[in-house]
Amino acid sequence: MSFPSVIQRLTWFALICVSPVMGHAADTLSLKDSVSFALEHNRMLSVAEAQVQAAEAQADAATGQLMPRLDLSTGLFRTNSPLNSFGTKLQQQGVTAADFDPTLLNSPAYINNYLTRLNLTMPLFAGGANWAAQTAAKSQAQASTYQFDFRKQQMIYQTIAAYVQTRQALAQVEAQQHAVRAANNRWHDAQALKKRGIAIESDVMDAHVYVLRNQVALAQAKAQYQDSLEHLHLVLGMPNTKQAPVLAEPVIQFQAENVNKLLEQAYANRADLLALQSSVEAAAAGKRQAQAGFYPHINLIAAQEWNSDTFGLKNDNTTVGINLTMNLFAGGANNAQTRAAESKRIMASLQLEDKRQQIANEVRQAWRGLHIAEQRLRSETEALNQTLESLRIKSLRQKQGLEKTSDLLDAQAHADASRVAQIQAKYDYMIAKAALLLAAGTLHEGVVQ
């Protein structure tokens, strides 16, 4: 067996062994399935969801501050203090004439008291502090919800990008496999032409070098595919040990809009912008909460007590009242808290305005990027068609001895490069669609298939 034949057999064996889909047939994974899986299993998205639940719990806690508070306490104490001993007997409704004996008053015996108390407090007026705290907490909870929604949109985009890049890497592996097969054909043709006396040994050597280079490029493409697949697994929250799925061709539903319409959609739908608007509302409520420190606080108080020398609910008494407190001087603390709250409100307002401008920039950049990607796809598709036609013509001429092997190999290299460039342009165009939908705040599960 000749040395070239051995090389050919080894080359084909290597192609089979390092094929990206090996072993048993794997399940097909669509882009829609990938997005659904990521939204359910991505760990960082679960963290964001837990933050929403924590903010909602804080809002519930703030609402609870507006409600009456009812506390139950019970306990036992034993004393021989003259004052406490006599008072306890009064509480137990057990004072007799003998208890007024000075000797007993000054040196009483130990007395036991089982005290059970039911205490009710209710804020009647707190300068608006409690209501402002509730508004701030609810606004913060709403901001957390919007942030979670935006995080979901980002996760959808990241999943689309990871899926498309993996599908692109796989397509480039297939293209490079085609390039290796074509290189082997050119090498075989060069050997045949040499036998006919049309080509020389250097042509065969050049063709062999071209095969080796394409084999290296194929190995690199396969490594890139594995890297992309592992990143996709990370985004999806899927272990790397899982068998690599067969990736279906991604589809993104997209309807072109003019940039002004996209800006309107972004201002209305961008969840991160809505989150900042809620943060501004929370900051304004925080200022009102701080200003409440200048007002009096009025609370309703009611209590029911039972006192007995044995365990049980006996000898009850009731207390009802209204308590008013008002700070007259706190060393300027209330003023400082109000200034701090106002500064936070101003900061939130400035961040909101900055976010609006940032969103406008993102929409315009994504819109321009989409049109450039579309133009590039058309250009690369036409370039691929022309390089393939040029390769076909030169291949025919080379078989007739009218074209040099080196020129044919150059044409083959251009065709292979054009095929890779067209693949990249195709999938970059898909990612550009997703980027524009994300910038406009309209990216959701329904746009992918």
Range with the largest mean pLDDT of 15-24, 192-201, 379-388: 379-388
pLDDT at position 26 is 57
Which H or E element spans position 117? strand 111-125
Q: 76 in helix, strand or coil?
A: strand
Averaged pLDDT, 29-55: 89
Categorize the per-residue pLDDT at 67 as very low, low, confident or very high, splitting at 50, 70 and 90: very high
pLDDT at position 214 is 87
Categorize the per-residue pLDDT at 16 as very low, low, confident or very high, splitting at 50, 70 and 90: very low
pLDDT at position 141 is 94
Tell me the whole-structure pTM to 2 decimals: 0.77
Averaged pLDDT, 4-13: 43
Categorize the per-residue pLDDT at 3 as very low, low, confident or very high, splitting at 50, 70 and 90: very low
Averaged pLDDT, 355-369: 96
Averaged pLDDT, 88-105: 86
Categorize the per-residue pLDDT at 24 as very low, low, confident or very high, splitting at 50, 70 and 90: very low
The pLDDT > 90 percentage for the chain reads 53
pLDDT at position 71 is 95
The pLDDT > 70 percentage for the chain reads 94
Q: What Rg, from alpha-carbon coordinates, does the chain have? A: 40
Which H or E element spans position 345? helix 333-399
Say yes or no to pLDDT of 350 above 90.
yes
For 332-341, the pLDDT digits (tens) are 998 999 999 9
Which H or E element spans position 408? helix 405-440
Alpha carbon distance 437, 355 (integer Å): 17
Categorize the per-residue pLDDT at 2 as very low, low, confident or very high, splitting at 50, 70 and 90: very low
For 258-292, the pLDDT digits (tens) are 899 999 999 999 999 999 999 999 999 999 999 99
Say yes or no to pLDDT of 129 above 70.
yes
Count CB neighbours of 310 within 10 A.
9
Residue 154 Ramachandran class (φ > 0 left, ψ -120 to 50 alpha, else beta): alpha
Say yes or no to pLDDT of 11 above 70.
no
- In the block, which residue shows the tokens 């008053």? 105
Say yes or no to pLDDT of 255 above 70.
yes
pLDDT at position 337 is 92
pLDDT at position 18 is 40
For 193-230, the pLDDT digits (tens) are 788 777 788 888 888 888 899 899 999 999 999 999 99
Residue 307 · residue 315 · CB < 8 Å: yes
Angle at 252 between CA 247 and CA 257, to 5 degrees: 165
Alpha carbon distance 130, 128 (integer Å): 6
pLDDT at position 256 is 75
Phi, psi of 191 (to 5 degrees): -65, -40
Question: Residue 350 burial (CB < 10 Å; 0-12/13-18/19+)?
Answer: exposed
Categorize the per-residue pLDDT at 17 as very low, low, confident or very high, splitting at 50, 70 and 90: very low
